[in-house]
Amino acid sequence: MERLPAQPTFIKGAYTLQQLPNDTGVEVAFAGRSNVGKSSTLNTLAGVKSLARTSKTPGRTQEINFFDLGNDRRLVDLPGYGYAKVSEAKQRHWAVTLDEYLLSRESLVGLVLLMDIRHPLKKFDRNMVHWCTHAGLPVYIILNKADKLSRGKANANLLDVKQKLDKFHIDGIQLFSSLNRTGVDEALQKLCDWLGLPYGK
């Protein structure tokens, strides 16, 4: 399968929790540190090049962006965490908003947590995995930008992260690259599973 079986369309960007779309149906959110490739991954999986805005400069996504897949299914592109040049007040706003979103969002069925395969398991990532497993929110890990490493090194890092998260109940972990399409099929399978969409090769 090359892309999701339903074509996503942009619904809206929310800066505050009051602006979120109705909390019905099911949605899957993409989280991770700034610049790990959340928006790019979403675009690759959707099969639409510029659905979510991407950028070489960290801090591109500044709102919680919602994409409609039809039948009350949604994808959610979250703002990146930990970009120093974003003002402290704004970072605090996002930390609180993100916490609240994760805590209260009933339609959220799973979180895709992206990490740069070259720098996995930073403090934010550990906190997120910890939090999700305690809150009972399924978390699936994508080690992104796998094209930046040799296949051997990428697989070694995958194994290492897996082992380090051994005691946590993560839903799965995989390598990914938008550049050479490593792991696209595997990620689509997970998304379809979570969203209740048909999956076919």
* Contact residues for ligand GTP, defined by CB under 6 A: 32, 34-40, 54-56, 58-61, 79-80, 144-145, 147-148, 177-179
Residue 97's binding partner out of Mg ion, ligand GTP, none, with CB under 5 to 8 Å set by partner kind: none
Burial of 165 (C-beta count, 10 Å sphere; 0-12/13-18/19+): buried
Task: Name, in order, each residue with C-beta under 8 angstroms of 7's C-beta and a sequence gap of 6 or more.
Answer: 46, 47, 48, 69
Residue 71 C-beta: closest distance to ligand GTP, Å: 26
Task: Name, in order, each residue with C-beta under 8 angstroms of 87's C-beta and a sequence gap of 6 or more.
Answer: none
Q: Tell which residue, 2, 12, 15, has the closest CA to residue 67.
A: 12
**How far is 33 from 186, CA to CA, in rounded Å?**
22
Residue 148's binding partner out of ligand GTP, Mg ion, none, with CB under 5 to 8 Å set by partner kind: ligand GTP
The answer to whether residues 143 and 180 touch, using CB atoms and an 8 Å cutoff, is no
Looking only at residues 41 through 60 of this chain, which bind Mg ion when binding is defined by CB under 5 A?
60
First to last CA, the chain: 4
| Nearer to ligand GTP (CB atom), residue 39 or residue 97 | 39
- Return the residue nearest ligand GTP (CB atom): 80
Q: Tell how many helices (H) and how many strands (E) occur in the chain.
A: 5, 7
Considering only 35, 39, 41, 178, the residue that binds Mg ion (CB under 5 A) is 39
Considering only 61, 144, 177, 178, the residue that binds Mg ion (CB under 5 A) is 61
| Nearer to ligand GTP (CB atom), residue 35 or residue 69 | 35
Contact status: 35 vs Mg ion (CB under 5 A)? no
**Footprint of Mg ion (CB under 5 A):** 38-39, 60-61
